[in-house]
Chains A and B, each alone.
Chain A
Amino acid sequence: MNWLKESLNDLSDFTAGRPYLGYATEVVDTIEAIIFAPTERSQERPFLRDFIDVKRYMALVVIGIVPATLASIYFYGWRALAMILVSYVAGGIAEVGFTLARKEEITEGFLVTGILFPLILPPTTPLWIVAVGIIVGVILGKEVFGGTGYNIFNPALVGRVFLTVTFPVAMSSNWVEPLTGGWAGLTKYGIDTVTSATPLGQFANEGTLVGLKEVFLGTIPGSLGESSALLLIIGGLFLIVTKIADWRIPLSYLGSVMAFSYLGTFLWPNQVAPPVFQLLAGGLLFGALFMATDPVTAPTTKGAKWVYGLFLGVMTVSIRAFSGYPEGVMFSILLINMFSPLMDDMVMTHRYGPVQKPYK
């Protein structure tokens, strides 16, 4: 592989500082960084460094989502893969364009956004809408704040919310029944549109409950990646075991949803679905395991993580029961994201006392 490294180095040297080609240097360097681990050693303490890096951190999230992705191809055909590719290409162009314009390094956070975003869309979403959504998500959800690490909101969810308010028809009424049995979607490109309702939508509109077994296995209409509770749990456990996702957030989020929906079924039995159904149906597991645990937008201190999950649960149950939308995970995560710095600050105030302003 040395020839490759050398030729990349030559290319990087060749383009550096030249008019019009200057931008290519960053891209070449990034390609080199992706393929080869850096051989630099630390120049200041500590002189030993942990083997983990952001690239691997993000790659592990993608690995965690692989089971759900495979399931989406099985249930909805190869079009699911096309949506993911469109998301990566369109969002990647926006991401690279921005970092080049700002003369910054290309960061790895997009690896995750690019795959999480298509998985929270309805399976029939037109490909151009996928592209619009991911571009808006990258620009308005991340780049306006300064890039990965500085964003307040989960970029994938920003893109999803933008699509929800912009294309309400495509985003809220075009659900399809997944394919099951035999090779199912593996032999097909996509599903001819057969409009159907998600389990949560059915409960909100008609008050009927879908069987828990179907919901658990994922043979129900829903977003691309969210249907199969089983595979999501497998992926989520992987993230928790590898310490990429903190177990506190999913636990308190899911626990709080369980507790409040249990309470709600007593008070408003027609509006609040029963706990286990709430847990498995819709995007809750996906949101709790892959979206709420996004380290950048979630609180970082342990106490704040518990509070964060608690509020997420309250919001989700309330939106599902009392708003016009049958699903509330996306909105609650975005809303509570806004408060995570505040929650961290409350923990710090508890631990260290308030900020002491010098006398003037």
Chain B
Amino acid sequence: MNNTTEIFVNGLWRDNPVFRQILGLCITLAITNRVVNGVTMGVAVFFVLVASSFIVSVIGEYVPRRVRIPVYMLIIATFVTLVYMFLRAYFTGLSQALGAYVGLIITNCIILGRLESFSSENGPWESVVDAAGISAGFAAALIAMSVVRELLGFGTLFGINVLGSGWTPWVSMILAPGGFLVLGLLVWIERSISPVEEG
């Protein structure tokens, strides 16, 4: 396994932001009741993280240590606002469904954490690969959760009825408590497959 693949797989599985690092839960719990939301949010975070990682890895060495956080925040906020306006202009329905949570990507610690811990110390190529891996991992987690929740909560996938019209919706799956349950169960399953090495 070469370095690039390793960085990517690391972000996707071993350091999966949701299942391993338990980060970005606000968004994860709030929007994963439909797969469309999960996919959109995944793409949005992918764009923001990759773009800001790239920029930070390029300009990182010129930014004084003491102002790096405000600078990172500015960069992230710029991209998030871009995404927000883009969604509102061209995907009105989706932007309504995601509500304030697109804006909240700014405060998502997955992104700031990655910029701080990886991009600021690595070259542009590695940073982009890492960002892609992490956000792919995030998107995968969102999709996994939203598939479960939409399937049980609405009986549909991408809005298409797959479980038949007689399906009794599981209301709790649509609500935040169901999000917690599904998250907990998925974390449990993920850790049973590859146990966390302590120490």
Contact = CB atoms under 8 A, between A and B. Distances in A.
Contact of B177 (A144, A165, A170): A165
Interface string B178-196: 1001001000100000000
A168 B171 contact: yes
A165 B168 contact: no
A145 interface: no
Contact of B171 (A140, A144, A166): A166
A78 interface: no
A165 B172 contact: yes
Contact of A167 (B171, B175, B181, B184): B171
Q: How large is the interface on B (under 10, 10 to 19, 20 to 34, 35 or more residues)?
A: 10 to 19
B98 interface: no
Contacts of B184: 144
A232 B173 CA distance: 34
B172 A170 contact: no
A162 interface: yes
A144 B184 CA distance: 10
B170 interface: yes
Interface string B134-146: 0000000000000
A170 B171 contact: no
Contacts of B188: 144
A162 B177 CA distance: 10
A140 B170 contact: no
A192 to B, nearest CB: 19
A149 to B, nearest CB: 20
A20 to B, nearest CB: 20
Given A144-B184, A166-B178, 18 more contacts: A126-B168, A129-B168, A140-B181, A144-B188, A162-B172, A165-B171, A165-B172, A165-B175, A165-B177, A166-B170, A166-B171, A166-B172, A166-B173, A167-B168, A167-B170, A167-B171, A168-B171, A170-B168
| Interchain residue pairs A-B with the least CB separation, the first 8 | A166-B172, A165-B172, A166-B170, A166-B171, A168-B171, A167-B168, A165-B171, A165-B177
